[in-house]
Amino acid sequence: MPLPVRFDYIPYPLWRRQGLTALKPLLPGRAASQADGLHGGTAPETPAQMAHYLLTNQILPPGMNVYAARDAISSLNIPVHQPDLARQPAAAAKTPIRLPAQWEAMEAVITAFPVLYPPLWESHAQIIEAVSEVARADVLIPDAAWANAVWLYLETRAFGKMENVRLIVLPTDDIWVRDFGSFTGRTSEGHRVMLGAAYDPLPAYPQANDAAFAARYAAGDGIPFRAIDLHTEGGNFWSDGAGTLIASQGIYTRNPHLSRAEIERRLHLAFSFEKLIVTPSLWREETGHVDLIVKLADARTVLITHPSLRFNKDALRQTHSLFKRETNACGDLYRIYTLPALPPYLNWGIYPIWRTYTNSLTVNGRVLVPAFMIGADEHAMAIYKMAMPDHEVIPIRCDIAVNGGGAVHCLTKEVPA
């Protein structure tokens, strides 16, 4: 039986895809493509143009008409952090870093604000609000012209702590900062370092800004940086900070030119760990990332999707079996909590969509969990409360974002303290 078909919003820059230029006027997201200042469009420049963009895309702040929004945007002068794109970061020593676990202290969480995807503004606002109450929220925008409008949208919601929100002008090609963001950790001497892997998973789309992001962010914050000689993405790693690294088989398939032994040797050059646990990847899921199949809640606790789906049943069963028999680097067995399995679907008959509750973010005593606006959400939140009783469980709306291939974890990247 084929997957059911839906026709939902696509949070992806289809207008940039190679070979689709002639179809650009017919593709979804035409208004967004016109505002795409990095790729042939023009970002709204005046307060009136920006207010019109908010009106057209139905994201005006509550209680404001287009004229009030124009005046409010005009009255703001929001400071932004604007790193010099030509500046090179200081070179980090070629020694492995300890990659902290997410439940350790975090200084900040990075997210790329979806200026070109208006239906996602609500989801990102929820993430920023939840993060800003316990850490700094670093919000990326592609151009300073967006700063006042984004700030107005967040501020008028009256949630979170705006004093902990930092707008950063750094161009990215997309919003999935988990995958192209830097890995931040410390050397054995205690020196803070950022690492960046080779990022090129989507050759049909522009990726230069995403590939350069990790080094640019490090340079902007004055943190030493070095590149990892591997093709991989941040969504394919969990670390317990105590010697265990968890990844999916995607770490091997993304580097077909290297042997498994060589891939693992290069991982050891980047990260300080004693044990690598490798899970299956989901079938017909584009990224192959581990954060779509398992969540590491603490050093001895994992949450895994229930293996009841007709599709990917084998991969989920194998993952359950793997963590039943495996131990972490300290020799501890894992406690396993099972999350609801949601049926996949084909968006527009083309894109397989896998909704998973494992794609959550832990930050300073909170866990931000995807919510898909369905009945199973309540069950998933209850399981998280059992698995992580010392954390505040916060649902984040992800029913639209998931059509781009990810949820909360994919949309964020933590910066350890």
CA dist list (Å): 268 to 3, 271, 376, 416: 40, 5, 39, 20
What does residue 276 show for φ and ψ, rounded to 5 degrees?
Answer: -110, 120
Domain ranges of the chain: 106-416
Question: Please, which residues bridge with residue 338 across strands?
Answer: 304
Band (24; pLDDT cuts 50, 70, 90) = low
pTM of the model: 0.96
When pLDDT is averaged across residues 300-322 and rounded to a whole number, the result is 93
Give the pLDDT score at 110.
99
Question: Please, which residues bridge with residue 141 across strands?
Answer: 169
Give the pLDDT score at 90.
98
**By 3-state DSSP, what share of the chain in percent is helix, strand and coil, each rounded to 5?**
30, 25, 45
Give the pLDDT score at 109.
99
Give tens-digit pLDDT for 55-107: 999 999 999 999 999 999 999 999 999 999 999 999 999 999 999 999 999 99
Give tens-digit pLDDT for 224-280: 999 999 999 999 999 999 999 999 999 999 999 999 999 999 999 999 999 999 999
User: Taking the CA of residue 33 as centre, how many other CA atoms within 13 Å lie in the half-sphere pointing to its CB?
Assistant: 17
Q: Which class in CATH covers the domain with range 106-416?
A: alpha beta
Give the pLDDT score at 9.
94
Q: Listing from the earlier edge strand, what are the strands of the sheet with 225-231? A: 183-186, 192-198, 225-231
